[in-house]
Amino acid sequence: MDNSNPLRKTGFTKADFDNEAVLYAVDDETIHCLNATARIIWELCDGTHSVDEMEQALRNAFSVPPDRDVRADILRTLNTLAAKGLLEQVPHAE
């Protein structure tokens, strides 16, 4: 399995509220609330976007200063999403 491009799990119903999202897991009836940043990251977890591409998307969406370590924030978010069962595969931490 290629772990360079995260892949979100299927089986969720998503409701959008402004920039945030609520995910409902049909199989275990859990609810997950994603803030604007986590929502973008989760939506980019389609198996085709790398962490580098996610970083660029977040920098563009939020005008992040160049000295901010966005990659570390993305990896933390991916680990949290994985721990909550929202991802099929997660890139290895570097």
How do residues 63-86 score in pLDDT, each as one tens digit? 889 899 999 999 999 999 999 999
Tell me the domain boundaries of the chain.
36-89
Triad 38, 39, 45: Cα angle to 5°: 90
Q: Looking at the chain, how many residues does it have?
A: 94
H or E segment and range at residue 56: helix 51-62
Confidence at 46, pLDDT banded by 50, 70, 90: very high
- By CB atoms closer than 10 A (0-12, 13-18, 19+), residue 46 is exposed
Q: So what's the pLDDT on residue 57?
A: 95
* pLDDT, the chain, mean: 89
